[in-house]
Amino acid sequence: MKPELLSVDNQKPTSSDSAFRYAELRRLFALIWPFRRSVLLGLLATLIYISLHTFSLAAAFPVFKVLLEKEGLDGWIDRTVVGARFGIDVAPIAQADTTEIVITHVRGGSVAEVAGLKPLDVWQAPDSMSIADCLHDTALTDQAITTFSIRPSQTSDIRAVPLSSGVLDWQTEVLLRGRGLLPDQAAQSPLDLLKYILVALIVIVVLANVFRYFGEVCIASAVLRAMMSLRATLYAHTLHLPVNYFSQQSTSDTVTRFIQDIQEVQRGMLTLFGKFIREPLRAMFILALAFVFDWRITLTMVVVAPMTVLIFWSVGRSVKKANRKLLQAYGKMIGALTTCFQNLRVVKAYTAEDYEHERLRTVDRYMFRQQLKLAKLQAFTSPMIETLAVIAASFATVWLASRVVSQDLDTSRFAALGIILASLFDPLRKLTDVYVRVQRSTAGVERIFHILHQPRESHFGDTGVPVKPLTRAIEFAEVSYTYPGAEQPALRNINLTVAQGETLALVGPNGCGKTTLVSLIPRFFDPDIGKILYDGLDLRDASLKTLRKQVSLVTQEAIVFEGTPLENISYGITGSSIERVEEAAQRAHADEFIRRIPGAYKASLGERGTTLSGGQRQRLAIARAIFSNAPLLIFDEATSQIDAESELDIQTALQEYAQGRTTIIIAHRLSTIQFATRIVVMDDGRIIDSGTHKALFDRCSLYRILCETQLVSSSTD
């Protein structure tokens, strides 16, 4: 038989695949909200980092000024400040000892235009002063009126032109204050000034990255705590889901939501509150810097932005759908591995290694297809965005170069704009991976909240009527129950009364409904029809917590949790004394083998008690029931792997423990039912007879057959 992979996603695409829905974004923010202080600190640190990073990019301009132009950085600042004060632009200073300079532009409405200055007029420095010194003094002047010596372009006459000093804008004010921090370039070489600027740049970069580190740690701390809280919420909710949920839902798929799905959400949230916020902000700050240099840089954004959004939108739908299927495939893989390794003896006994290998490879191939699809989508976006960025940058470079050739833009500004332009597309490129990561996380969010939206068991806690120890009887009145998805009822019109203190045995063929019947008492299921009364109280109105405190349960499959014998016997009860645990173990005949284990009651038993034999696991489970000391005992006989001597001791302990307690035993051995007060025979979900062993053996043919086959043969094992 060739193993085949069942479809892990038979659902048709929904509208949720087409976009990042507001509900999903709201859920992510709701998860992080309790830790908002840490997030806000992280975002504040990120904002400081972005500001310092942008400032470090702006430092490219003064570096190029020092390296590429003779007037230097301080000369350019002086020219810029003078131009802002009086509304003029002057040509760069070609030589340090030059005594005159050409006015290249006069701004409309400025004081210079009112005074009659025109382009190509020549501004001359006073006697014995260079034009550089004149520009410097004029830039720093506090006088309301400054007199310029101007030689009009058409004449050789020099005239004095008084100009009133205008108010500097904030950008020019920053330049002027920065000018005061620079060493005198005339007294130092350009290399010394360059070293000074680069040291300042290093300090800024170090500070920026310190804030970046602090911001990322704060956000990571908030996200990790949010994920820990989400796991706790998911765990608590899952534990309170009805048993029916787990009969319909794959356990491995549920486990995957705790591990892989939450991991995807964690990555998505780290990205959302990290790069998803940082990179757009960085782009905005860099764009603002570009505006300071030249507003026409926005033309590059006009070319790239719409195409980028279109790519994000089209890729997002496919990413989300593929990742949902991948997460479901992880559940299949965990289920297949768990089943195989837990039943490895059976696999080897039937030489089914090749079969299991092929079955796992089938699941793995499906996972590979989904992973490859995601890899293709991620591989597509970054190169596409990078290609668009290079095309836009090329057009922008040609355009900026043409302005340099026409002397509308100086070389240092061109070089600085080139660096800014390259930096502008870096956050856009990174956003491609960011969007894919966030979209992948939404698939995990959907699957996690699918569980959280499942209705919990009703009346858990103190919302129902508190249940006290049984004083009269448990009554089943016309009870029927059908498992979800089953075609036939598991129980049909059950009418049964179990009196307080009675020991009742249930017998019948496999699948007749015995375990289902006793499962209704602790309300693992609720009947579809009829009701169960506990001292007259309908169990639907009972508090689950107090009801289950009244029940000790021993299941047919002996359950041992990873931990010590002490933890297993006292399971669910904290602060128990070792003496009480040992007493329960002795009554279950488990004390002897526990003491032989190195470490005794504090020894590690391994996962599912793999270090114990089947009989030892069963006795440990019985000790757990004895330890709980509940007034109602449900014993789904689990003695098939216990030797005859131990079975006799356990039967004796069971009879002693049942004294004064209401006990319901699902029996598979004749020795178990002989001390029962009453025996109930079931078949096909119905009760067909009840009475003592002798009476049933005489009048009930099914019971007689069971005694002669199953019960008798079991007793002779």
Which has the minimum average pLDDT: 122-126, 314-318, 553-557? 314-318
Which has the minimum average pLDDT: 22-36, 97-111, 181-195? 181-195
Q: What are phi and psi of 532, to 5 degrees?
A: -120, 125
Per-residue pLDDT, averaged over 184-193, amounts to 62
Residue 346 has pLDDT above 80, yes or no: no
Q: Tokens for 659?
A: 């004294």
Residue listed under structure tokens 């009145």: 477
In a domain, 623, yes or no: yes
Q: Quick one: which of 192, 191, 85, 65 has its CA closest to 135? A: 85
| 520/589 same-domain check | no
d(CA 322, CA 444): 12
Which has the minimum average pLDDT: 624-628, 673-677, 707-711? 707-711
Predicted confidence band of residue 3 (pLDDT cuts 50, 70, 90):
very low
85 within 8 A of 168, measured Cβ to Cβ:
yes
In a domain, 655, yes or no: no
Q: Tokens for 12?
A: 């048709």
Instruction: Name residue 498's beta-bridge partners.
Output: 474
Residue listed under structure tokens 């820990």: 228
d(CA 170, CA 173): 5
Q: What confidence score (pLDDT) does residue 349 get?
A: 55
| Cα dihedral 21→26→32→34 (10° resolution) | -170
State the CB neighbour count (10 A cutoff) for residue 711.
21
d(CA 6, CA 394): 51
513 within 8 A of 685, measured Cβ to Cβ:
yes
Per-residue pLDDT, averaged over 534-559, amounts to 84
Residue 411 has pLDDT above 80, yes or no: no
Q: Please tell me which of 272-286, 585-599, 600-614 the model is most confident about, judged by mean pLDDT.
A: 585-599
131 within 8 A of 100, measured Cβ to Cβ:
yes
Q: What confidence score (pLDDT) does residue 59 get?
A: 76
d(CA 500, CA 659): 11
Predicted confidence band of residue 480 (pLDDT cuts 50, 70, 90):
very high
| 490/584 same-domain check | no
Q: Quick one: which of 522, 690, 554 has its CA closest to 634? A: 554
| 249/354 same-domain check | yes
Q: What confidence score (pLDDT) does residue 255 get?
A: 77
Q: What confidence score (pLDDT) does residue 273 get?
A: 81
Q: What is the mean pLDDT of the chain?
A: 76
d(CA 280, CA 289): 14
The CA angle 375-376-377, to the nearest 5 degrees, is: 90
Q: Please tell me which of 43-47, 273-277, 310-314, 431-435 the model is most confident about, judged by mean pLDDT.
A: 43-47
In a domain, 332, yes or no: yes
d(CA 442, CA 29): 12
d(CA 179, CA 81): 10
Q: What confidence score (pLDDT) does residue 638 get?
A: 56
d(CA 517, CA 515): 5
Q: What are phi and psi of 682, to 5 degrees?
A: -120, 150
Per-residue pLDDT, averaged over 513-542, amounts to 89
599 within 8 A of 538, measured Cβ to Cβ:
no
Q: Please tell me which of 97-106, 261-270, 558-567 the model is most confident about, judged by mean pLDDT.
A: 97-106
User: Which CATH number does the domain housing residue 625 bear?
Assistant: 3.40.50.300
Q: What confidence score (pLDDT) does residue 533 get?
A: 92
506 within 8 A of 448, measured Cβ to Cβ:
no
| 672/610 same-domain check | no
326 within 8 A of 367, measured Cβ to Cβ:
yes
Q: Please tell me which of 110-114, 196-200, 330-334 the model is most confident about, judged by mean pLDDT.
A: 110-114
Report how far Cα 280 is from the mean position of its chain's Cα atoms: 22
Q: Tokens for 87?
A: 């509304």
Q: Please tell me which of 10-24, 159-173, 528-542, 597-611 the model is most confident about, judged by mean pLDDT.
A: 528-542
Residue 410 has pLDDT above 50, yes or no: yes
| 25/72 same-domain check | no
pLDDT in tens, 574-583: 777 888 888 8
d(CA 564, CA 599): 9
389 within 8 A of 346, measured Cβ to Cβ:
no
Q: What confidence score (pLDDT) does residue 1 get?
A: 34
Q: For the chain, how many structural domains are there in total?
A: 4
DSSP category for residue 257: I
pLDDT in tens, 560-578: 777 788 888 887 777 778 8
Predicted confidence band of residue 474 (pLDDT cuts 50, 70, 90):
very high
| 713/684 same-domain check | yes
| Cα dihedral 24→29→30→31 (10° resolution) | 100
Please say which residue of 187, 203, 218 terminates a domain: 187
Q: What confidence score (pLDDT) does residue 7 get?
A: 30
Q: Tokens for 543?
A: 């508090």
| 506/448 same-domain check | no
3-state helix, strand, coil split of the chain in percent (to 5) is 60, 10, 25
In a domain, 485, yes or no: yes
State the CB neighbour count (10 A cutoff) for residue 111.
20
pTM recorded for the entire structure = 0.64
d(CA 38, CA 75): 46
Give 588: exposed, middle or buried? Use CB within 10 Å, 0-12, 13-18, 19+.
buried
Residue 294 has pLDDT above 70, yes or no: no
Q: Please tell me which of 117-121, 152-156, 368-372, 558-562 the model is most confident about, judged by mean pLDDT.
A: 117-121
Please say which residue of 452, 481, 513 terminates a domain: 452
Predicted confidence band of residue 393 (pLDDT cuts 50, 70, 90):
low
In a domain, 42, yes or no: no
Predicted confidence band of residue 105 (pLDDT cuts 50, 70, 90):
confident
Give 319: exposed, middle or buried? Use CB within 10 Å, 0-12, 13-18, 19+.
buried
Q: Tokens for 685?
A: 């979900």
β-bridge pairing 537-538 and 491-499: unpaired
| 146/66 same-domain check | yes
Q: What confidence score (pLDDT) does residue 6 get?
A: 30
Please say which residue of 573, 604, 629 terminates a domain: 629
Sign of CA dihedral 39, 43, 44, 48: positive
In a domain, 195, yes or no: no
| 580/672 same-domain check | no
In a domain, 1, yes or no: no
Q: What confidence score (pLDDT) does residue 41 get?
A: 92
Q: What confidence score (pLDDT) does residue 495 get?
A: 92
User: Which CATH number does the domain housing residue 164 bear?
Assistant: 2.30.42.10
User: Which CATH number does the domain housing residue 263 bear?
Assistant: 1.20.1560.10
Counting residues of the chain whose pLDDT is more than 90, the rounded percentage is: 5
d(CA 369, CA 362): 11
In a domain, 435, yes or no: yes
Domain range enclosing 233:
15-34+226-452
Q: What confidence score (pLDDT) does residue 705 get?
A: 85
| 264/322 same-domain check | yes
| 566/528 same-domain check | no
Per-residue pLDDT, averaged over 234-244, amounts to 78
Which has the minimum average pLDDT: 59-73, 199-213, 525-539? 59-73
Per-residue pLDDT, averaged over 265-273, amounts to 80
d(CA 232, CA 214): 27
3-state secondary structure of 132: helix
Residue listed under structure tokens 């020795």: 671
State the CB neighbour count (10 A cutoff) for residue 661.
18
Residue listed under structure tokens 């760069």: 92
- Of the two residues 210 and 354, the one the predictor is more confident about is 210
pLDDT in tens, 372-381: 776 776 666 6
508 within 8 A of 706, measured Cβ to Cβ:
yes
| 527/583 same-domain check | no
- Of the two residues 313 and 286, the one the predictor is more confident about is 286
